[in-house]
Amino acid sequence: MPVRCVEKEGLTHLLKKCVPQFKMPGRSKITTMIEEKYSKSVDAVKKILSEVEDVAFTCDAVTITNSSRSFLTITAHFINKECLESICLMAARMDQISDDENSDDQGDSLEKAHNRSIVKVDGSENRELKMYLSLPQTSWESNPIMFWSSYKAAMPGLSKLALRYLTTPGSSVPSERLASAIKCVVCDSRSRMTDTHKTERVFLKSLNSKYWS
């Protein structure tokens, strides 16, 4: 709902009847509260991201229904306390799309980065692999993140490698779900909303409830 709805006569009348002692904050006050909450939440997320070992990023392009406006969203995926979490970091307006002249060079750099990330197997990791292959099979319903987290001490090399790849979502559903949140934020009744406010609202909407405390 647009922030200006707090000033509508119908809502004001309803609140006076239901909770006469409650004083509804004005539009500017609510906007300030959202900005303050965004600033605090960003600090909390930065602290968490600084403590995790791996972060995966996904990008999605979203076009608003019945509109020519398109947005590019960037979502971060990371493992926090044996759970895979996703947060939409940015929602930027796509005014124009241009081809990158250095796409081939970027492809080479990505390949080199991937090759550097591959862990070379030594004697200790061979022992870890033998230990892993000797373990009984787990059920399909088991959580692989919890499994590898519990074996960090026994198989540190394999555990680190497995958790690195488990950080990347197995499907595009998490990123698409968060990216679609912009459709709830951007609408015709919010045509005057700035890009900064759009990013703030999409970011807050993508947060887990535990970050709101």
Query: SS3 letters for 70-128?
Result: EEEEEEEEEEECCEEEEEEEEEEECCCCCCCCCHHHHHHHHHHHHHHHCCCCCHHHHHH
Report which of residues 47 and 24 the model is more confident about. Answer: 47
Percentage with pLDDT > 90 across the chain:
1
Q: Averaged over 66-90, what is the pLDDT?
A: 82
Contact at 8 Å (CB) between 71 and 61? Answer: yes
Q: Averaged over 44-70, what is the pLDDT?
A: 81
pLDDT at 97: 46
- 72 strand-pairing partners: 61, 92
Q: What are phi and psi of 170, to 5 degrees?
A: -75, -15
Return all residues near 5 (Cβ < 8 A) that are at least 6 apart: 11
Q: Averaged over 196-200, what is the pLDDT?
A: 81
Contact at 8 Å (CB) between 51 and 81? Answer: no
Contact at 8 Å (CB) between 53 and 164? Answer: yes
- In angstroms, rounded to a whole number, what is the distance separating the alpha carbons of residues 178 and 200? 13
pLDDT band at 207 (very low <50, low <70, confident <90, very high): confident
Indicate whether 168 pLDDT > 70. yes
* Helix or strand holding residue 58 (H, E): strand 55-63
pLDDT at 66: 62
Q: Averaged over 17-31, what is the pLDDT?
A: 83
Count Cβ atoms below 10 Å from residue 79 Cβ, excluding itself: 20
Indicate whether 100 pLDDT > 60. no
Q: Averaged over 58-73, what is the pLDDT?
A: 76
Distances (CA, A) of 49 to 27, 56, 66, 74, 96: 33, 11, 36, 15, 31
pLDDT tens for 103-148 read 455 445 555 655 655 555 555 667 888 888 898 888 888 889 999 9
pLDDT band at 64 (very low <50, low <70, confident <90, very high): confident
- In angstroms, rounded to a whole number, what is the distance separating the alpha carbons of residues 16 and 190? 26
pLDDT at 24: 79
pTM, whole model, 2 decimals? 0.70
pLDDT at 1: 61
* Encoded amino acid at 77, one letter: H
